[in-house]
Chains A and B, each alone.
Chain A
Amino acid sequence: MEYLQSLLKEIGLEPERARMFNLSAAMAGKFVEAAKEMTEKVTELGPNPLKSKMKDER
């Protein structure tokens, strides 16, 4: 995971865009928490700049 984050950074993207959560199928509460946390994080970071670049090209 650390490696993937370092790759993102090298490319020029925010490393926080990728994270790993250790959950079992029975941990619904934790899953919701994690999903919320990530949603908040990526909303804060804004859309992936690569995607908007792709749109520009179209």
Chain B
Amino acid sequence: MIVAEQKSLEEIKKLVGNAKKVLVAGCGTCVTVCFAGGSREAAIVSAELRMSTKLAGDPKEVADVTVQRQCEWEYLDEIAEQVQGVDVVLSLGCGVGVQAIAEHFPNVWVVPGLNTKFMGLPTEQGVWAERCAACGDCILGLTGGICPIARCSKSLLNGPCGGSLDGHCEINAEVPCGWQLIYDRLKSMGKLEVLMEIQAPKNWRTSRDGGPRKIVREDLRLVSEEK
């Protein structure tokens, strides 16, 4: 899932600026389960905004609404009226949600209430960790199901580097060395021979380096028939 973190109230207030009517828009999927931007958080942020702006002598009209997913037009259509009736929408969706609102409602000013962090998972209650960097050409099959792109600080393909110490990465003793994890797992599975194959440099064009990415599935498109 996509993991995000709320911006400080200070920054949110700056982003909202002198708008009088604010709609805090929560998202019911990824950011709900990481406790950053679901309906509960949307209600809390809108109460915070209402109270603090009132204390500052500049009261704002703040409402909140949460959709199942901000990243799909169908769900955004449900809140079209509310979105269009305010001066600013504070989106508590990930960066995709914010942009979906901007794209779907060209006349609406939308600002982000979250910092979108990474794709990862909760490793224990209250802790989330990065697992995939969406490189576009998955090599988990070569590394025993542990991603060297996302979990090695240097995204090495033939690790570890010389900075690996007692299972930790040299950037920070709190960070497990991704390549140690890979080695340990392959060893426990009796598959260490996998590491004997030297990996050629990765083609990063499938990642962000190749520019904005897009997938087109002609078999699924509705417009393709009309062409």
Contact = CB atoms under 8 A, between A and B. Distances in A.
Contacts of B52: 10-12
A5 B54 CA distance: 18
A13 B51 CA distance: 9
A46 to B, nearest CB: 14
Contacts of A50: 51, 54-55
B44 interface: yes
Contacts of A10: 8-10, 48, 52
Nearest to B45: A7
B145 interface: no
Q: Is the interface of A mostly helix, strand, loop or mixed?
A: helix
B106 interface: no
A9 B76 CA distance: 33
A13 B50 CA distance: 13
Interface in A1-58: 7, 10-13, 49-50, 53-54, 57
Interface in B1-30: 8-10
Interface string B29-56: 0000000000000001000100110111
A13 to B, nearest CB: 7
A57 B59 CA distance: 10
- Specify which of A10, A11, A53 lies most central, judged by the most chain B CB atoms within 10 Å of its CB: A11
B51 A11 contact: yes
Nearest to B51: A11
A50 B10 CA distance: 18
B113 to A, nearest CB: 14
Contacts of B190: none
B57 interface: yes
B8 A11 contact: no
Nearest to B12: A10
A10 B8 CA distance: 9
Contact of A7 (B48, B54, B59): B48
B119 to A, nearest CB: 26
A7 B52 CA distance: 10
Interface of B: 8-10, 44, 48, 51-52, 54-57, 59
Interface of A: 7, 10-13, 49-50, 53-54, 57
20 contacts: A7-B48, A10-B9, A10-B48, A10-B52, A11-B48, A11-B51, A11-B52, A11-B55, A12-B51, A12-B52, A12-B55, A12-B56, A13-B51, A13-B55, A49-B55, A50-B54, A50-B55, A53-B54, A53-B57, A57-B59
Q: 4 shortest A-B CB distances, which residue pairs? A: A11-B52, A10-B9, A11-B51, A12-B55
Given A11-B48, A11-B55, 4 more contacts: A7-B48, A53-B55, A54-B54, A57-B59
